[in-house]
Structures are given as structure tokens and as C-alpha cells.
Amino acid sequence: MDSTLKYPKTLVQLDSFTIVGIQRNILQKDELDPQKAQIGRTFDEYYSKQLYDQIPNRLNPMRTHCLYFELSDGQDWQEMKYKIVVGEQVSQVKNVPEGMVSIKVPAHHFCRFDCGPGPIPDVVIEAWQSLGKLNPEEFGGDRTHDFELEVYPEDQLDRNSMKFHLYNRNIMNNNLSEQDNFCFSQSIFGLFPFFVPILPKRKLAQDFVPLRLYQ
């Protein structure tokens, strides 16, 4: 583990996967206002209405995913817009319930951080804020900012001592060791090495850090 990192990291290559869940459009500055904040409200709706039980073909029931994607390239961080989906991975996309969407994430290279334990939402806020200070070398490459993901294991029931995985999609750094750059694929579909195409780097005004103030 890097001496500058608060959380252990693992460089992984994930197979393509699909998430089914509820989608919301987020405006960064609205997350500062408890009356407008959408992220925490989305989690509350998902759990209070037990929407997870409506998802067909669940791969790992109660393993909750929060996917961040379609991040706008705004110069003012408060005006950044993006989308989230809170839901679960599925084995196939059939009979998506009304009010839900399916999002397919392409196979790619990710840096996974093992975060927690700590209380919700403090542990999530702390994780994102600490990762926002990291440089590309500490990330294992440049962040692409197209897909970022929180994964909450199904056995995490205590909101005051939550552990979760934070995945940041990135472009592999050629200065990394061979072991880091050619690690085995770690996914729900099995373990095998495969080639991942290099995507163009996105330039943002600053690294993306969602404002998780209310949850």
C-alpha cells in the first residue's frame, strides 16, 4: 500500500457488467442543500421502498452499486452535472421494472480502494475527499471520469461501521510494474486475463468528487 494512501488499493481489470436500478440526474451544487440533494434521497428511496426486490436476474442480492457516469466537463465544479444509478448487477437484461434503467459498463482497467469501516455518510465523504487529492501515479493511471462506482457488500448491515469498495476507471500507467499492469481480471464472471483497449484521457477542471453530504 502506498504510504500516502489512506485506503488499500488494488489495480484490477473488470469484465463488462450491467447494473439495473433507479437513475437520477445530479447537479453538484444542489448536493450542498439538504432540500435539493439527490444522492442521499436516492439511496433512501431505494432501501425504504425495497426496490432491490423488484430487480430481475440479480447476481448478488443485496450487493448495492452506486454508479457515477456521464460527467459534464464544466469549468466550475459546482455546475458539474452527472448521473447516478443505484441498484444491482444482473446476469441478463430482461423485464426491467418501470422506473428503472439498465446501464452497461464496458470492460476496462480500474483502481479499487477498500474503504471503511465508518458511519454512513461520513465514511463515504471521507473516501471521496481523500481520493480527490491523489495523483495519477497513486491511482495507477489517469482517471477517465466516464464510470466510477461504489459497491456495498451484501453482508454490510451496520450503518455505523460500513465497509465498501470504490472503483475509479483509469488508463494504465506504463510506468507501473508488469505485475500491476497485467493483473488478472477480477469479476463476478470468473478470473482470466484479457486485453483492455486504451481510451482517450478526459481533461476536467478538477478531479471528480461527488458531494455526499446527505445520506
Q: Is 24 exposed, middle or buried (0-12, 13-18, 19+ CB in 10 A)?
A: middle
Sketch the domain layout of the chain as residue ranges.
9-181
- In which residue ranges of the chain is pLDDT below 50? 1-4, 173-206, 213-215
The pLDDT, as a whole number, for residue 43 is: 94
Q: pTM of the entire structure?
A: 0.79
Cα–Cα distance between 72 and 208 in angstroms, integer? 10
Give the chain's largest Cα–Cα span.
49
The CATH code belonging to domain 9-181 is 3.20.80.10
- Residue-level pLDDT at 141: 74
Name the amino acid, one letter, at 140: G
State the pLDDT at residue 207.
55
State the pLDDT at residue 170.
79
